[in-house]
Structure 1
Amino acid sequence: MKFTISPPDWQILCVDDDVIFTLMYERYLKEAGYQVLIADSGESALELVKIHTPDLIITDVVMPGIDGLTLSQRLREDDRFANTIILVISGTKKDGETAVQALDGGADDYLLKPFHKDEFLAKVRSFLRIKALQDEMGKKNLKLQETLIELEREKEILNSTLKQLSLISDRLEAQNEKLNVINQEQVRRFDSLVTILSALIENRLKYHRGHAAKVAEISTFVAKKLNLPANEIRQIEIAALLHEIGKFGIPDSLIEKHPKDYSASEKEILEQHPISGADLLNNYPGFETVAKIIRHIHERYDGNGLPSQLNADAIPLGSRIIAVANYFESRHRQDASADFSEELYYHSQTRFDPAIIRITIQYIEQYHQSNTDDVLNMRLYDLKPGMELAQDVFTKSGIKLMLKDTKLTEELIERVARYNRIDPIETDIFIKKVKN
């Protein structure tokens, strides 16, 4: 993604008790075309930001009264400046130690005096590029919020539509050959709702991004191999896409933890999410079959599962399919290079349906192994120009930073590395292997 930075659109606040430096900042920045605000103390800076919201704040570390460290901390306490870039200026190496404290207190970077004009302006441009990226991502997040608001406004319409879809779903199970006569607008609305719910789940579960889609892919493969009717395959696919919807009721503090860090009690809480998800979907006519499938995905083939201790064929077929797909996909995320076929066979007849395991092994052999052979797991600082992404890249906060199939350039790698300091990429980056 490339941003064109228009200098007159950017406002920069310079804070320094030394008039020589404030005059120098003002001259440098105005010559570069930026709007400039000047404050000769931390106190006057705090007064200025009551009526202005600068994009970049440049402050000296050592000042009488409110110093740069305290100023940075106070600014970060104000939500208006959550995305404002703060650059602290240090006068000596000793002041540099104070600058490190400022970084811990909320500043983004520091610069030691004396510095060259070109170095100063290059750092300003670099941070404003990051600010432009932040602003663009903020707009996208705002758009998502607007979508949620619109969804709430249309709740009455959607409920009416879902009631109609419930009647249609009954006919589909008995008259699949008449699918083409169903009102296409109703189907579109239903599919749109599934898409929105799936996107909301994806956005909330940062350590599971792409997980539901992969589980749906595997589950659909198995269902087709079993020659199930088209409508039943679709119900299983939807259940796979929404199988983690019950996690909406789980606290953010638990959702944001990495799965490997769960305590035993936290795992027990998470094991209840299929029940919560099923109860939620049962409020919407048309989702009864999907809700039933989701409710029983933690049942075990030997009858020792949750919530109803169902066994063997008493467990809904869709639940048995998704249980195996979910287990394999989760294990593969922990070790992409491992072959989990033997591990799946180990759970045959106890945890999972052996027939479903056999078909899932077919999927692994037919699709997964070839994909694994063609992909490298790399960290951010191992990337090189010319490499091509095998998967989308997300930051810790959920922002999609790079798209699958993007070909990396030196400029793009540097830009992502800078943004990584603000919003880290915590997972491996998947790169396509070069074929000889």
Structure 2
Amino acid sequence: MTQTETTASPGTVLFVDDEPNILSSLKRLFRPTGFRVLTAPSGQDGLNLLDTETVDVVVSDMRMPQMDGAAFLKAVRERHPQIERILLTGFADMESTVSAVNDGGISRYLNKPWKDHEILTTVKDAVNRGRLQAEVTRLHALTADQNAKLKNMNTELEARVLARTRDLQTAIGKIKEANESLKQNFLTTVRVFSDLVEMRSGHMAGHSRRVAQHARQLAKASGLDDAATQNIMLAGLLHDIGKIGLPDDLLGKPYNTFKPEERSLYIRHAERGEAALTAVSQLKAVCKLVRHHHEMWDGTGFPDKLTGLAIPLGAQILAIANDYDGLMQGHLTARPLPAREALVYISQNAGKRYNPELANTFVRMVSEASGRPADGISLRPGMLKQGMRLVQDLLHPDGYLLLPKGHVCDEDTIIQLRRLETSSSRNITVQVEDSPRGAST
């Protein structure tokens, strides 16, 4: 199947079930969607069909004679790992379902009897996920090919080749980071989105990351569970995504200097941020926090003028973290405030702008943290060794993420950081573990 065909068609799905009436029902259900539907009455027939057909998603029943769903999906994984795998199972099949998850590497399982809208959405999501992975692989191949061509360029173009190589290496790094996030770390993807917002303006550089960090710390200090804390941190990273469409000159102005028409335009960014994230199912809870992070305790905030406990708890936390960093960066007032004055502002507005209990907890937390030494040791790229692990995120001098906390330095990392320090003519400091295990000399 060509790339054009893949893009134009909704995709091909194979249903495997030993009950003809089930296969007929599924074919009727998917007929209006435009999907190309294939069916097989057994696992072996399904495997034979996959040898001759291009399929995006396989949906298999668990209970089938000769070869059950777990064994079939395990074989699909071994022979065609690129195909997304979904299991249909009954409530009594949980032991077999665990086997299918472990051995068959399924992405979802659905209970019988299924809900039509649920199976339709699940199959569509699986097709999109598989194609996204294929596109990342294609981009890797494309960049590798471009690098090979660049190495063969005429020596007279060496200066231009070096400049192009730097650009390509940056692009390759982002592609690798995106690919890794698809496999392991959804959070990294969110951070990339956050960085894209901040790259609009140097005035915003690092703001979302600091807000996310302060919000995460306040959530933990307030006793919230890991899931709620994670959503609050994600919302902190994405709270300004609605500002992407704002004019550049507006992004650099303090809020209290806005003209009425500028303020009217600005206050819509929270709703726009929510709308931009609504399509991502994993961010459903985050959307709500993004919408309400400018609500105030006394009801004078926006967009819905919620008051007190009607404001989602995560949004109450974000409001404090966002304003604290905004005060120090000059986002709210014409004069950036030092940390001490920003904390005084938070205290004075407890019960007005902020939940008083959260505000007091935040002021105490930040004040105590300011007296603690930083973790790890700070090293320049030239002093790094392979195996050293970062104890905090490393940001580019322009504010966006270079390497995440926990990254283990290898030879390529160290070379790239040395080149960046030389090309940018700015010192780079990396915070690493004081006594790293496995660091090579």
What range describes the TM-score normalised by the shorter chain of this pair? Answer: 0.3 to 0.5
TM-score normalised to structure 2 length: 0.46
CA radius of gyration, larger in: 1
